[in-house]
Amino acid sequence: MKEYRRGRLGRLDVCDAQPELLRVAKNLGRETDTECPICEHEQLVHVTFAFGPGLPSGGLPLSDLREVERRTGKRSADVACYVVEVCTGCAWNHLLSVFAPAGNDH
């Protein structure tokens, strides 16, 4: 984002969310009070994906963390969750955090 602010990157360089990420953000995203740092008029949404054995290679979008246990069963110890903040207006996105779901043995 610093490079965008300095004018070294254009908006199309930083607003590059894949169509599937935007679809998931619109349907499962949790609204926030945070304004998009790029377009400065849309509120960001948070989307959580689970990655691990037996899950889709592109990750499993979650509406609720309890889905991890229901969808992975005993393999939950091998699951990592990624939270991405997304602007559904301009397609900016950023990896916000990575964590192991509660009850995970990591």
The mean per-residue pLDDT over the stretch 6-35 comes to 92
pTM of the model: 0.84
Average predicted confidence (pLDDT) for the chain:
88
Least confident piece of the model among 16-20, 66-70, 95-99: 66-70
Query: Percent of the chain having pLDDT more than 70?
Result: 91
Residue identified by tokens 């969310």 is: 17
| Distance of alpha carbon 64 from alpha carbon 32, whole angstroms | 16
